[in-house]
């Protein structure tokens, strides 16, 4: 029997609640504080649960801004990026050691700097260049997850440095758990320092997690919870960003983490807060004007106007995500889309698009990007339940920990 539980997801545009399996969505009122809005809309539901029975995840506080500095693009940088994304962290920039001299430090203050690179037993890779660069970076936290020998040098030069085990373990495999745990805990501390979010601890006695982290924990359960075939991707198109969660089996040089699933974030492909950048990206794409013709939409939809239908915005975002992970776009991880059997759509897009509207975009994308006449099945998470599967996983883990 399922425990008496209330799960809450605080998003950038909606509250989502799962009250013992009963799902409800509530559009946010941006004129009042988030906590007051939740109380006003969902006070009767909250009153039925104790703080111990309520679990919350959130993407509304913007996440942690992160700068990743690694030795090379080939291993350490990609390992760190995957680990940070899977922890629900927002990366503002990535650098490698050879490029530091020609790169200006970030103009904004960052929440955390991640340093990584090398294999244990081999040192002398990090030197004064990194110290000189960091002297001009404003940050709140800094963590090192690289080779053990350089850890001593960096710790002597950076007193506030947190040293973790190497991302690359002694078997030359990705060991992401220490860094992922550190970043998740840091997110928790960040929430505690933000007035808008920390008030939610008035209603919950449990840790508040970043929503992307929760969704990532849900992915191994999707096959048994939904009618779909492996391999699959989950595309979450919302108001601020678009995320794609994918099986590492879809990547030729996959980085096998603890869960077998990775996440990419497209910060400029949200349909609400990122609307202007989404339209700008669409205007620059070689296939989008043909996509509009396929959809029966005029080119006026690409003008920076507020009356562009949200349906069209969602369709543009869906196509651009598939484009960016295809062989046509080298700047992102390339997924083997030919292997893909199912595309699961969640977040705002699952509320806006019909199955036919979503399938039409996917069919066009596969015809143009892969020259395929067959496309994967499209499954819409219309009730937006996927995040609740992740909350169940975390609740079970917490219960097991309490009993041990």
User: Helix, strand, or coil here: 73?
Assistant: coil
pLDDT at position 184 is 81
So what's the pLDDT on residue 300? 85
pLDDT exceeds cutoff 60 at 123: yes
Separation between Cα atoms, residue 39 and residue 296, nearest integer Å? 43
The rounded Cα 375 to chain-centroid distance in angstroms is 25
In angstroms, the first-to-last Cα distance of the chain is 21
- Average pLDDT over the chain, rounded to an integer: 85
> How far, in whole angstroms, is CA 34 from its chain's centroid?
21
Of the segments 307-311, 334-338, 341-345, 396-400, which one has the largest average pLDDT value? Answer: 341-345
Distances (CA, A) of 297 to 29, 247, 261, 294: 31, 33, 35, 8
Q: ∠ at Cα 103 (99, 106), nearest 5°?
A: 130
Highest mean pLDDT among 118-132, 152-166, 317-331: 152-166
CA dist 213 and 59 (Å) reads: 10
- Pull the structure tokens for residue 238: 């919302």
CB 194 within 8 A of CB 64: no
Res. 29: pLDDT tops 60: yes
For residues 361 and 28, the model is more confident at 361
CA 245 to chain centre: 8
- pLDDT category of residue 320 using cuts at 50, 70 and 90: very high
Binned at pLDDT 50, 70 and 90, residue 91 comes out as confident
* Residues 139 and 109 sit within 8 Å (Cβ to Cβ): yes
Contacts of 221 (CB under 8 A, 6+ apart): 389, 392, 393
d(CA 233, CA 90): 20
Region 149-164: mean pLDDT is 93
The domains of the chain, with CATH numbers, are 6-61+194-211 (3.30.420), 65-187 (3.40.50.10870), 227-380 (3.30.420)
The Cβ of residue 168 has, within 10 Å, a number of other Cβ atoms equal to 21
Angle between helix axes 211-225 and 76-86 (nearest 10 degrees) is 80
**pLDDT score of 136:** 93
């Amino acid at each position: 029997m399922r425990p008496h539980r209330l799960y809450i997801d605080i998003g950038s545009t909606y509250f989502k609640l799962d009250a013992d399996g009963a799902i409800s969505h509530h559009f946010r009122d941006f004129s009042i504080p988030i906590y007051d809005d939740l109380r006003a809309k969902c006070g009767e539901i909250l009153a039925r649960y104790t703080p111990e029975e309520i679990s919350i995840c959130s993407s509304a506080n913007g996440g942690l801004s992160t700068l990743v500095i690694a030795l090379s693009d080939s291993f350490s940088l990609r390992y760190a990026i995957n680990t940070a994304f899977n922890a629900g962290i927002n990366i503002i920039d990535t650098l490698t050691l050879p490029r530091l001299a020609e790169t200006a430090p970030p103009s904004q203050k960052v929440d955390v700097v991640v340093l990584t690179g090398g294999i244990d037993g081999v040192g002398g890779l990090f030197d004064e260049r990194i110290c000189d660069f960091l002297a001009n970076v404003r940050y709140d936290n800094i963590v090192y997850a690289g080779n053990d020998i350089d850890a001593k040098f960096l710790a002597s030069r950076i007193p506030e440095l947190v040293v973790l085990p190497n991302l690359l373990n002694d078997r030359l495999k990705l060991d992401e758990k220490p860094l992922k745990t550190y970043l998740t805990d840091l997110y928790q501390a960040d929430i505690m320092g933000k007035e808008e979010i920390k008030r939610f601890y008035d209603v919950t006695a449990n840790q508040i997690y970043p929503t992307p982290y929760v969704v990532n924990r849900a992915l191994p359960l999707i096959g048994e919870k939904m009618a779909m075939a492996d391999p699959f991707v989950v595309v979450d198109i919302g108001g601020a960003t678009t995320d794609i969660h994918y099986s590492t089996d879809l990547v030729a040089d996959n980085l096998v983490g603890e869960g077998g699933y990775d996440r990419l974030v497209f910060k400029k492909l949200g349909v609400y807060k990122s609307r202007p950048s989404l339209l700008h990206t669409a205007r620059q794409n070689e296939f989008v004007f043909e996509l509009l013709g396929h959809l029966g939409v005029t080119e006026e939809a690409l003008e920076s106007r507020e009356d562009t239908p949200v349906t069209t915005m969602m369709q543009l975002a869906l196509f651009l995500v598939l484009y960016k992970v295809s062989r046509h776009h080298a700047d992102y991880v390339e997924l083997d889309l030919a292997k893909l059997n199912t595309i699961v759509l969640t977040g705002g897009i699952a509320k806006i698009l019909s199955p036919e509207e979503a399938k039409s975009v996917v069919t066009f994308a596969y015809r143009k990007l892969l020259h395929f006449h067959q496309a994967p099945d499209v499954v819409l998470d219309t009730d937006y339940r996927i995040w609740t599967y992740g909350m169940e996983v975390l609740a079970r883990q917490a219960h097991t920990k309490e009993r041990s």
